[in-house]
Structure 1
Amino acid sequence: MNSKKTSLTYDPSMFFNSGAAKKESKYVIDCASKQDEGPIHCVAIAGDKFKWESTVILVSDNVNSTRSRSCGSNRPPVITHHTATVVALQGTSLILPCVATGKPRPYITWETSDGNVIANHLFNPRFKVLGTGDLLIDALEWEDMNEYTCVAKSHLGEDRVSTFVYPAQ
């Protein structure tokens, strides 16, 4: 078993400050090997409450031999952090995270449920796709209730996740 310790910190305050949200994440191990096997723990902390879940990572010999041939080469996009559902107060600013990995680095765009691409200030001046790939919605309005889809794309493929936004009073 590998004794290396990996700590991933995901600070929700960086993304959301007025309401409630359901966040989803994936833990991606590129070029996994037998050395990556062992227990992995996920700890969620909210105020004075916490939840702890554990699982064990196992790497099969078939995966290991296939991966070793392609390790370090190009990989299709995978979205690793996003918010599935957000209830936020009208009038507040909201950032919807979309963090993706891949090689080459994927290009991130956002779409509405009817397929409209959110291009900065062409779609709506209150909406902005940040350099990180996150979507900023300034001064949230009732009319902003929608499902927003983050698309991470490269020549190797694409990954999509959706966030439902509910503006509360």
Structure 2
Amino acid sequence: MFCLCFLGLGGASELAFIKEPSDVIAVRDRPLMLDCQVEGEGPITITWRRNGVPVPLGARAAVLDNGTLLIRNLQKRRDSDESDAGEYDCAAQNRYGLLISRKAHVQLASLPKFHTHPESMSVDEGGVARFHCAVSGVPEANITWERNRTALNADDNRYTLLPNGILHITGVRQADSGSYRCVAKNIANTRYSHEAQLSVTANRLYKEPVILSGPQNLTLNVHQTAILECIATGNPRPIVSWSRLDGRSIGVEGIQVLGTGNLIISDVSLQHSGVYVCSANRPGTRMRRTALGRLVVQGTINTHTPSHESNLGFSSDQCK
């Protein structure tokens, strides 16, 4: 998107962008370069603005010969709102006209402290453990887990790591006892959550199926990924299955089941909207527990984060 206005009549040599600035997530205290390369009859003057105000040039910022803006040391002052983040555009001008680039949004990378930490728990041997941590990073942080400050063995299929910071351990053993924490990492920082203790008890009595964590209500935009969690425990271990409340088929394309029953729907479309039912069945019987969650897929793209609402009120657990 650009604005082109000619100041002269006839014989004008049009200006055209070869490269325009792009949106970027930048790291504080490191250099940042924004492209602005133009072709046309010289001499051509390149100027830069941030949030509509000319960028001050000097020791911290310079325009290179090819029009690129170099900020030598990106800043965000902790004691004020002053920051190099914002919307940047460049303007190219020769004697025939003026060309203004698209606006590029510059965000500062960040990784604040965890706002959800894993909590200690006691689990029967053979049961299921669930830990959850959450942090809001820019860009989104990659989350991994440690036991006793050593990375979990990713090849062990008893571990299920959901992308939203949830760890499931199925078929818990005495050897799984210990301290668990999650590690969040992005280009800005690495952070560690509080540690949570997992205690394993040797109780092997019969237990009816129980859904420890069911699907949340989700509102997503098309092409996003839906994560519908369903973690159940009991002795013997219940079998988890999924259905839709309206009876329609869930389908197979773009559908993945992680762990013992978490439903992942990638690249959601409007047709995926509906109420999803997670059932935990006791093997060989008709006894089951159910939990329901509503998935709403919006047809328009916006910049808001998916909202997580409370579980549906009309049914949580039932036993048949």
Give the TM-score normalised by structure 1. 0.55
Residues 227 and 263 of structure 2 are in contact (CA less than 8 Å); yes or no, is this contact kept in structure 1? Answer: yes
Partner of 2:296: 166
Partner AA of 1:99 in structure 2: I
User: In the TM superposition, what whole-angstrom CA distance separates every residue of 1:10-48 from its partner, at most 9, and x where no partner exists?
Assistant: 23683549xxxxxxxxxxxxxxxxxxxxxxxxxxxxxxx
Please, which of 214, 219, 230 is the counterpart of residue 98 of structure 1? 230
The match for 2:269 is 141
Give 1:130's aligned residue. Answer: 258
1:7 and 2:135 equivalent?
Answer: no
Kindly state the Cα deviation for residue 96 of structure 1 after the two structures are TM-superposed: 0.6
Answer whether contact 2:216 2:228 (CA < 8 A) is retained.
Answer: no
Inter-CA distance 124–72: structure 2 relative to 1 (3 Å threshold):
closer
Partner amino acid for 1:105? R
Q: Which has the higher helix share?
A: 1
| Count of matched residue pairs | 107
| TM-score, normalised via structure 2 length | 0.31
Instruction: Give me the CA root mean square deviation.
Output: 2.4
Question: Which runs of 5 or more structure 1 residues have no equivalent in the other structure?
Answer: 1-5, 18-70
Query: Which structure's relative contact order is higher, taking Cα pairs within 8 Å and 6+ residues apart?
Result: 1
* Separation in 2, partners of 1:100, 1:145: 24
Q: Deviations over 1:97-116 (max 9, x none)?
A: 00111011111000011235
Identify the residue that residue 79 of structure 1 maps to in structure 2.
211
Pick from 96, 100, 113 the counterpart of residue 245 of structure 2.
Answer: 113
What letter matches 1:93 in structure 2? Answer: T
Unaligned 5+ segments in structure 2 are: 1-118, 122-130, 135-142, 144-161, 166-202, 301-320
Per-residue CA deviation, residues 67-110 of structure 1 (Å, 9 max, x unaligned), is xxxx6321111001123311112101121100111011111000
Percent identity, please: 25
Mapped contact 1:111–1:117 kept (Cα < 8 A):
yes
